[in-house]
Amino acid sequence: MIEIKNIEKSFGDTKVLKGISTVFETGKTNLIIGRSGSGKTVMIKTLLGIHKQDKGTISFDGRIYSKLSDDEKRTLRTEIGMVFQGSALFDSMTVEDNVAFPLKMFTKNRKSEIRKRVNEVLERVNLEDANKKFPAELSGGMQKRVAIARAIVNNPKYLFCDEPNSGLDPETAIVIDELIQEITREYDITTVINTHDMNSVLQIGEKIVYLQHGVKEWEGTNEEILETRKRSVVTFVYSSDLFKKVRESLLEDAED
C-alpha cells in the first residue's frame, strides 16, 4: 500500500500538485488519469522520488519516505519496478540481458540464479523463446512484455507503469492491460498506472484517481466512474463519440 497525504509540488510560481491525498491499494491496479497538464506525470515522478514534494508525506506500507535513511531508501528502490512509456529497452542488449539488468544492478546473485529468474519471468509474460532476440526484432506488444518482465524480475512490492499502452493497437493494449492486472493480483503488488486510455480505465480500473489542474477531483472504481455525476469527470470520460454513445445507452437502461 502506498499512502499520500496532502502532497503539494510547485515549479517556480506554478503549483502543479495541490494537496492531494489518496491510498493506492495492494493487489489492485490503481490508475491515475486526467488531461494533459493535470499533474499525473508529476504525481508519478513524486511517488518515485524523482521530484521531492514541497509538502505532505508519502508512505510505502507505513514507511514514510522522507524519514528513511539513505540505506533504507536504497532498499526501497530495489522493491520498485517500473514500466516506462515506450518500454525503454536497451537496443544493444538481448531480451535476456535487458531483463537481467536489475538483478545485476541490485543483487549479488550468481549467473545461474539470474538466468533461472530471467527464464521464469519471460515464461510468465509468454516470451520463453525470445531470450536471444534484440528489441528491434520484436513487435511493440512483445517489447512491452519484455519491459514488464524486467520490471518484475526483482520481485517488486510496488509497480509503476507510465502510459503502458502508448503506441499499441487496441487488441494488443487489452492483452497488456490484462497481463499487468494478472501479475498485480498474482504477486500481490501495489500497482500504480499513469494513463489517458479510457479502455484501460474501464478494463482494469479497480481504483481510479482523477486529477484536474493538480487537484484530486474524484476517485472511485471503473464501475463508479460510469455512474458519476461529477461534471469534470463526465466530460473527460465521455469526450469521444464512442463513449458518448455508451453513456446514452446507460442512461436509457437506467430509465427502463
Per-residue pLDDT tens digits for 74-132: 999 999 999 988 888 999 999 999 999 999 988 888 999 999 999 999 999 999 889 99
User: What are the phi and psi torsion angles at 43 (to 5°)?
Assistant: -60, -50
Q: What is the mean pLDDT of residues 232-246?
A: 72
**Alpha helix ranges (H) inside the chain:** 40-47, 70-78, 95-106, 111-124, 140-152, 170-187, 198-204, 222-225, 231-237, 241-255
Q: By CB neighbour count within 10 A (0-12 exposed, 13-18 middle, 19+ buried), where does 177 fall? A: buried
CA distance 2 to 21: 11
Q: What is the mean pLDDT of residues 37-51?
A: 92
Q: What is the mean pLDDT of residues 135-145?
A: 94
Percent above pLDDT 90 for the chain: 72
Q: What is the pLDDT of residue 37?
A: 86
User: What are the phi and psi torsion angles at 127 (to 5°)?
Assistant: -130, 40
The residue that leads in pLDDT, 228 or 214, is: 214
**What amino acid occupies position 171?**
E
Q: What is the pLDDT of residue 248?
A: 60
Q: What is the pLDDT of residue 246?
A: 62
Give yes or no for residue 255 having a pLDDT over 70. no
| Least confident stretch, 56-70, 179-193, 220-234 | 220-234
Band of pLDDT at residue 233, cut at 50, 70 and 90: confident
User: What are the phi and psi torsion angles at 198 (to 5°)?
Assistant: -65, -25
Band of pLDDT at residue 167, cut at 50, 70 and 90: confident
Contact in structure between 4 and 58 (CB atoms under 8 Å): yes
Taking Cα atoms as reference points, which of 216, 209, 148, 223 lies closest to residue 178?
148
Taking Cα atoms as reference points, which of 112, 146, 140 lies closest to residue 126?
146
Q: What is the mean pLDDT of residues 40-61?
A: 94
Q: What is the mean pLDDT of residues 42-48?
A: 93
What is the topology classification, in CATH, of domain 1-79+158-166+184-256? Rossmann fold (3.40.50)
Give yes or no for residue 251 having a pLDDT over 60. no
Band of pLDDT at residue 235, cut at 50, 70 and 90: confident
Predicted model pTM: 0.90
